[in-house]
Structure 1
Amino acid sequence: MRIALSTIGSRGDVQPLVLLGSTLRARGHDVWLATTPEFEDLARSAGLEFRQLGNIGAGYVEEIMSHPKVQEALRRGPSIYRMAMAAPRPSAAEQLALTEAMVASVEGADLIINSNLTRIGALVRPGVPWCSVSAWPITETAAWPALGAPDLPLGGAYNRFTHRAMGALEWLVYRASVNQARRAAGLPRAGFRSPFRDDGRTRPILYQFSPQVIAPPPDWPAQCHVTGYWSDDTHWDQSPGLTAFVERGAPPLVAAYGSSWLPCGTDLLRATLDAVGVTGHRMVIIGGPEFEIPDGMDVFRSETADFTWLLPRAAAVLHHGGQGTTAAAVGAGVPQVVVPCYADQPLWARRIHALGVAPAPVPYAGLTGERLAAAVRIATTDTEIAARAVKLADAARGERGVEAAADVVEAYAARVCR
């Protein structure tokens, strides 16, 4: 079977699909990844074919996230909708071109697996079965409100309403470009009801997080699959200097803010260095802007690291709450300090705190070195947090997330693919 994987985003968005593609390839399928060009080497190193997603160049996400209006919106709060309104908007022609590129990049597939941001392309090729992958919960439920909606104690009816409203808003954004592409392909116009409401009902949706962190609510339909974290425990190359730094002293703090470095980097770095200066810890900083190490601080900076090796050796992991980094920190079994900046990050920050493996989140809006230092002290001195972190890691390690996802894909394909 020929399977196309389609996604846009940062490495945290792309790498899980590469893992899924590699697993499906090992089972005998022809698999390719359609995304932006900076991830071509990642795809090919996993043995996957690569197709560039139209004319989207390297740095597409970086261009949006580094926009001054986006950065200012994030200083006001983590609202994904405020951030979206501040971001430069593509013209109708550019949006149509992106939709058409999504269609072209999966040409010849028997089955398409999309991320949240590329589902629209499947609506222009209705003869090819497809399903979706999501890093955070998007299926309607009475258990909690939709991502980005106010978390009000108004019960299940309110929570369901927020999911319907947010889904309608999402479809309103994409419907015009989808219908332009459908008209060009000789297809009828899509109606006002969001077709994405069928995800998890008529086709699978694969949730790449652990049920130990968010368990599926009882009102989710049967085709919603919370598989467990997707990991293959691959060891990545890292500098000998980083290895030597970690091994020569007490466990360091590890600061890994991932995709939040770009829009929030200067403020994150300043607060993190201030917190280290106050608490006196050693520290490893992964990525981020260039900086001079202040006198008297024992700090090592590296562009990359082998998280499978590094994070279990940390006194605590300071991160942004991105799903991928959260998964790595959970698997490491160490305390966490979460500084959520935008999108789904506040969700994971709340869950990690609720599970007792991190102090209360320290939101980027209003972040100071003093507040971060207070959270670091709690994370590194509370023995109950450390014990719960080990217990959660032991439970999550028993999951076979990417294999479970591949099982769902193959079972679905056996039903719907010719």
Structure 2
Amino acid sequence: MRIALSTIGSRGDVQPFVLLGSALRARGHDVWLATTPEFENLVQGAGLEFRQLGSFGAGYVEEIMSHPRVQEALRRGPSMYRMAMAAPRPSAAEQLAFTEAMVASAEGADLIINSNLTRIGALAQPGVPWCSVSAWPVTETAAWPALGAPEWPLGGAYNRFTHRAMGTLEWLVYRAGVNQARRASGLPRAGFRSPFRDDGRTRPILYQFSPQIFAPPRDWPEQCHVTGYWSDNTRWEQSAELTEFVEHGAPPLVTTFGSSWLPCGTDLLRATLDAVRATGHRMVIIGGPAADIPDDLDVFRSETADFTWLLPRAAAVLHHAGQGTTAAVVSAGVPQVVVPCYADQPLWARRMHTLGVAPAPVPYAGLTGEKLAAAVRIATTDPEIAARAMKLADAVRGDPGVEAAADVVEAYADSVSR
């Protein structure tokens, strides 16, 4: 079977698709991954064919996230809708070109697997079955409101309404561009009902998080698959200096803010250094903006690290609650301090606190070194947080993960072929 995978975003968005593609390739399928050019080496290094999403060039995410209006919006709060309104908008021609690039990247595929941000391309691909991957819950339910909606205690009817409303707004954003591409393919126009409402019903949706973190609610349809985190525990090279720093001293704090470094880095780094000074901990900082570290702080900086080795050796991990980073920290079994900045990060930050593996989140909006230091003290001194973190890690490691996702893909392909 020829399988086209398509995704955009940061490394945390692309890496899971690489793992899924590798699992499917190991089962004998012909697999390629279409994404932005900065991930070409990552894709090809896994033995997968790389296809670029047309002229959708490197640096798109950086351009959006470094925009002053976006950065100011994030300082006011984590609302992804406020952030979207602040971001530069592509023209109608650019939107059409991107949709057409997604269509072209799947040429020759028997099955297409999309992310939330690339599934619009499948709507202009006549006759090819497709399914989606999501890093956060998007299926309608009475159990909780839609991501980004007010969390008012108004019951199941309200929660369902928020999912319908958010889904309708999302579809209205994409509909015009999708219909332009559909006309070019000789397809009829799509109506006002969002086709994404069928995800999990007529076709699978693969949720790449653990049911230990978010158990599927009873009212989700059977084609919603919460597989467990997608991880292969690949070891990464890291400097001998980093290894020596960690091994010769008390367990350090580890700070890794991933994709949030770009829009929020200066403020995050300042608060982090203030918290180190206030608490007296050693610290490893992964990534972040260029800045001099004061000589009185015991801090080691590195652009990369082997998280499989490093995170279990941390006194606590300070992170942004990106889904991929959260998966790595949960699997490491150590206390967490979470600073959510935007998008789905507040969702995962709240879950970490609810599960008892982190103190209350310290939101980026209003962040100070004093607030961060207070959370660090709780995370590193409460033995129950450490015990719960280890117990949760043991449970998560038992999830089938990416192999379960590959099983679903093969079963779906078999069903549509019949």
TM-score range, shorter-chain basis? Answer: over 0.9
The aligned residue for residue 387 of structure 1 is 387
Contact 1:129 1:417 (C-alpha < 8 Å) held by counterparts = no
Contact 1:227 1:402 (C-alpha < 8 Å) held by counterparts = yes
Contact 2:5 2:32 (C-alpha < 8 Å) held by counterparts = yes
Distance 1:125 1:32 in 2: 17
The aligned residue for residue 163 of structure 1 is 163
The aligned residue for residue 416 of structure 2 is 416
**Which ranges of structure 1 fall in alignment gaps of 5 or more residues?**
none
Offset of residue 411 of structure 1: 0.4
How does the TM-score come out when normalised to structure 1? 0.99
2:333 is equivalent to residue 333 of structure 1: yes
Offset of residue 126 of structure 1: 3.0
The aligned residue for residue 360 of structure 2 is 360
Distance 2:148 2:239 in 1: 39
Deviations 1:343-384 (A, max 9, x none): 000000000000000000000000000000000000000000
Letter in 1 for 2:393: A
Offset of residue 341 of structure 1: 0.2
Distance 1:140 1:41 in 2: 37
Deviations 1:96-115 (A, max 9, x none): 00000000011001000000
The aligned residue for residue 113 of structure 1 is 113
Contact 2:126 2:187 (C-alpha < 8 Å) held by counterparts = no
Q: Secondary structure at the match of 2:70?
A: helix
The aligned residue for residue 402 of structure 1 is 402
Equivalent residue runs for 1:3-402 within 5 Å: 3-402=3-402
Letter in 2 for 1:349: A
Q: Secondary structure at the match of 2:118?
A: helix
Letter in 2 for 1:235: R
Contact 1:212 1:395 (C-alpha < 8 Å) held by counterparts = yes
Offset of residue 412 of structure 1: 0.4
Letter in 1 for 2:342: Y
Aligned length: 418
**Which ranges of structure 2 fall in alignment gaps of 5 or more residues?**
none
Letter in 1 for 2:394: D
Distance 2:322 2:46 in 1: 23
Q: Secondary structure at the match of 2:14?
A: helix
Runs of 4 or more consecutive aligned structure 1 residues displaced over 6 Å after TM superposition = none
Deviations 1:16-75 (A, max 9, x none): 000000000000001001000000000011000000001011111111000000000000
Distance 2:291 2:356 in 1: 33
Q: Secondary structure at the match of 2:254?
A: strand
Letter in 1 for 2:317: V
Distance 1:209 1:57 in 2: 29
Offset of residue 290 of structure 1: 1.1
Distance 2:391 2:301 in 1: 30
Contact 1:110 1:417 (C-alpha < 8 Å) held by counterparts = no
Question: How much is the aligned-residue C-alpha RMSD, in angstroms?
Answer: 0.6
Distance 1:309 1:399 in 2: 20
Letter in 1 for 2:38: E
Offset of residue 417 of structure 1: 3.2
Contact 1:284 1:299 (C-alpha < 8 Å) held by counterparts = yes
Which shifted more, 217-226 or 181-190? 181-190
Offset of residue 323 of structure 1: 0.3
Distance 2:384 2:254 in 1: 20
Deviations 1:283-321 (A, max 9, x none): 000000111111211100000111000000000000000
